Amino acid sequence: MEGQDFDLLVKSGLLRRVEKIVVDSHRHLHEAQGREWSRPTAYRWLRYESSAPVARLSEGVKKLRRGAAEFDSDAVDKACAEASKKGFLN
């Protein structure tokens, strides 16, 4: 998705869907570890205010995987199917 037109990713809703998957995984990992969680914590962790939010999401996924986080497989499958239909998969 990183190389795709940002406006199209936003308009399609795909960016929001992927963002939700990553943030939900971050929340579940924190809860499983007994750590306090908040949405602002997740966004700070992602450094989502940067000029490259898709790259931040990609980095976040890699960090979460290293931390043994789990992702909602149904949500991931749906996002991948949508991305594929719209030609967004790299």
Is residue 1 domain-resident?
no
Judge whether 51 lies within some domain.
Answer: yes
Calculate mean pLDDT across residues 61-87. Answer: 87
Give the count of beta carbons closer than 10 Å to the beta carbon of residue 45.
Answer: 16
Helix (H) or strand (E) segment spanning residue 66:
helix 53-66
Range of the domain at 80: 6-85
Grade residue 90 by pLDDT with cuts at 50, 70 and 90. Answer: low
90 found inside a domain: no
**φ/ψ of residue 2, rounded to 5:** -55, -35
Contact status, residue 18 vs residue 61, Cβ threshold 8 Å: no
The string of pLDDT tens digits covering residues 7-65 is 888 888 888 898 899 999 999 999 999 999 998 888 888 886 666 778 888 888 898 98
Q: For residue 83, give every residue at least 6 positions away whose Cβ sits within 8 Å of its Cβ, in sequence order, or none.
A: 1, 14, 89
